[in-house]
Amino acid sequence: MIEEKKTSKTRLDFQTKWEYSPAPESTDHIQLKDQYNLFINGKFVEPEEGRYFDSINPASEDKLASVAMATEADVNKAVKAARDAYNKIWSKITAKDRGKYIFRIARLIQERAREFAVIESLDGGKPIRESRDVDIPLVAAHFFYYAGWADKLKYAFPGRDPKPLGVAGQIIPWNFPLLMAAWKIAPALATGNTVVIKPAETTPLTALKLAEIIQEADLPPGVVNIITGAGKTGEALVKHADVNKIAFTGSTEVGKIIQKTLAGTDKKYSLELGGKGANIIFEDAAIDQAVEGIINAIFFNQGHVCCAGSRLFVQESVAEEVIAKLKDRMGTLIVGDPLDKNTDIGAINSKAQLDKINELIESGINEGGEIFQSGCDLPAHGYWCRPTLFQEVSQSHRIVQEEIFGPVLTIQTFRTPDEAITKANNTPYGLSGGIWTDKGSKIFNTGSKIRAGVMWSNTFNKFDATSPFGGYKESGMGREGGLHGLLPYLELK
């Protein structure tokens, strides 16, 4: 498989010489209804106005199910159910019993992991390898982890008296649908709060399957309510007078709207917003590993990742080598059917998101960036974007400043660590970053000067239930995960 090119360098040619037989994951074992209602007070109930919207498969544009559109009246109903459940049941039972329910949810998710993984890939477009090996195991891990905290809160905050807030309103995005639901629901329940959660419009199905598990776990009615709908549904939840806490993950734009709405109220809130992560490769890094790290940092989940390493900074002395290897590696990535186990990059989550990505790619070209895209085949139907990189870009380019949320990488070079730090920090965001080097001291010196909530060294996009996650600047406020993730749901007396 090695081909001699004119440059006399040996290069891998996967495009023409490697063929993979299809390896599709079966869909026989999943159960999807044609229509889903709202999950309020332990039951599936019809929406007050009787309106439904379609959830489609972005890889085929086929309809998967119709889903209830919750309006203000439904939000009121869900919040009332959550309040009643809080007052009458959830705040009264022992912390140990709360923990038992959460453990039960975790175990049921593990039992049905395969079904969840397939539905996540169908509804959201992500490769089955990722939903199977990353999303769903992390979902179970979050429930297990926070189940363990339920009866140990006083050890988490010694000398303090932690009290739940009451009803938590939670709004989640479409990039990690079930995982974001777990990040929100697990700590809220463990700390003694009840929940009203709104999944994103394009990916509601795994949250609705979670509602089935919640029923099966016999969680008292009203402790978790799941209301599907659009931005207006989220807005009604944020504005509801009887909600004590808002937890939001999504765009910085909507995060700012929520922050304005909540200013002057006594609601507690946490915001996990956008990012423009810097991935810094020093000349002493293990280059082949770093190239794999770059691929993972930007192409994982089609780049629909708030902490994606979407800005690459390479030390000038190794830039040529790194970029050549990166382009070769991009040529090997398989874009296509999310349910095929060979697939590296699945479908873009929606037509709207594909349009946004294409508009930003266009702006990169118009502003003078040098584009490189892999030459892979794309399926005839569905929403797809080839793995893309841009060279010859500067700090002022839109594609260097704005969150693209797609498989698009910008590359810039640097000479000194200080230059890399200055460039890495030159963005309104502060969520994540990565450093690749052989020297531990360089990791600490550089990492400590980059204003980002999460810094990875010699790896990227590693998540763990025990580890806090969150941003600075326009990437939001508050932390999710780990012991820190308990705090946004508690009042410490």
The reply on whether position 480 binds ligand NDP by CB under 6 A is no
Question: Nearer Cβ to ligand NDP, position 180 or 290?
Answer: 180
CB 348 within 8 A of CB 357: yes
3-class DSSP assignment, residue 333: coil
Question: Nearer Cβ to ligand NDP, position 306 or 376?
Answer: 306
Least Å distance, CB 363 to ligand NDP, is 14
Least Å distance, CB 378 to ligand NDP, is 20
State whether the Cα torsion 283-286-287-292 is positive or negative.
Answer: negative
* Binding to ligand NDP in span 111-170, by CB under 6 A: none
Least Å distance, CB 328 to ligand NDP, is 29
Q: Is 307 tagged catalytic?
A: no
Interface residue with ligand NDP, options 82, 138, 254, 483 (CB under 6 A): 254
The active-site residue, picked from 201, 306, 474, 480, is 306
The reply on whether position 249 binds ligand NDP by CB under 6 A is yes
**Cα–Cα dist 213/208, whole Å:** 9
The reply on whether position 251 binds ligand NDP by CB under 6 A is yes
333 CB burial (10 A radius; 0-12, 13-18, 19+): middle
**Cα–Cα dist 471/271, whole Å:** 9
Label the pairing between strands 278-281 and 432-436: parallel
The reply on whether position 175 binds ligand NDP by CB under 6 A is yes
Contacts of 27 (CB under 8 A, 6+ apart): 118, 122, 339
**Radius of gyration, alpha carbons of the chain:** 23
CB 54 within 8 A of CB 23: no
Q: Is 46 tagged catalytic?
A: no
Residue 148, CA distances (Å) to 134, 138, 153, 482 in order: 21, 15, 10, 11
Question: Nearer Cβ to ligand NDP, position 201 or 340?
Answer: 201
Q: Which stretch binds ligand NDP (CB under 6 A): 7-15, 173-181, 262-270, 459-467?
A: 173-181
Binding to ligand NDP by CB under 6 A, coded x per residue (else -) over 180-199, reads: ------------------x-
* Start-end of H helices in 35-127: 72-85, 95-111, 113-124
The reply on whether position 454 binds ligand NDP by CB under 6 A is no
Least Å distance, CB 442 to ligand NDP, is 29
Residue 114, CA distances (Å) to 27, 52, 137 in order: 10, 27, 10
Label the pairing between strands 429-430 and 454-457: unpaired
Least Å distance, CB 203 to ligand NDP, is 8
At residue 425's C-alpha, the angle toward residues 395 and 468, to 5°, is 135
Exposure b/e, 142-166, CB count within 10 A at least 16 = b: bbbbbbbbbbebeebeeeeebebbb
The reply on whether position 36 binds ligand NDP by CB under 6 A is no
The active-site residue, picked from 272, 403, 474, 480, is 272
Give the interface size with ligand NDP as a residue count (CB under 6 A): 26
Question: Nearer Cβ to ligand NDP, position 192 or 481?
Answer: 481
Query: What's at 5, amino acid-wise?
Result: K
CB 117 within 8 A of CB 111: no
CB 82 within 8 A of CB 196: yes
The reply on whether position 200 binds ligand NDP by CB under 6 A is yes
Least Å distance, CB 206 to ligand NDP, is 14
Helices and strands in the chain, H and E counts: 17, 24
Q: Which stretch binds ligand NDP (CB under 6 A): 56-64, 100-108, 244-252, 456-464?
A: 244-252
Closest CA to 306 of 205, 395, 429, 421: 429
* Binding to ligand NDP in span 380-409, by CB under 6 A: 403, 405
Least Å distance, CB 131 to ligand NDP, is 17
Relative orientation angle of helices 95-111 and 136-149, to the nearest 10 degrees: 170
Interface residue with ligand NDP, options 124, 173, 293, 407 (CB under 6 A): 173
Q: Which stretch binds ligand NDP (CB under 6 A): 45-53, 218-226, 248-256, 335-343?
A: 248-256
Least Å distance, CB 253 to ligand NDP, is 7
Binding to ligand NDP by CB under 6 A, coded x per residue (else -) over 352-381, reads: -x--x-------------------------
* Binding to ligand NDP in span 334-353, by CB under 6 A: 353
Interface residue with ligand NDP, options 140, 147, 219, 273 (CB under 6 A): 273
The reply on whether position 257 binds ligand NDP by CB under 6 A is yes
Least Å distance, CB 462 to ligand NDP, is 17
Least Å distance, CB 238 to ligand NDP, is 5
**Cα–Cα dist 90/164, whole Å:** 10
* Binding to ligand NDP in span 212-241, by CB under 6 A: 230-231, 234-235, 238
Interface residue with ligand NDP, options 81, 128, 306, 450 (CB under 6 A): 306
* Binding to ligand NDP in span 404-443, by CB under 6 A: 405
State whether the Cα torsion 302-306-307-308 is positive or negative.
Answer: positive
Catalytic residues: 272, 306
Report the interface residues with ligand NDP, using CB under 6 A: 171-175, 198, 200-201, 230-231, 234-235, 238, 249-251, 254, 257-258, 273-274, 306, 353, 356, 403, 405
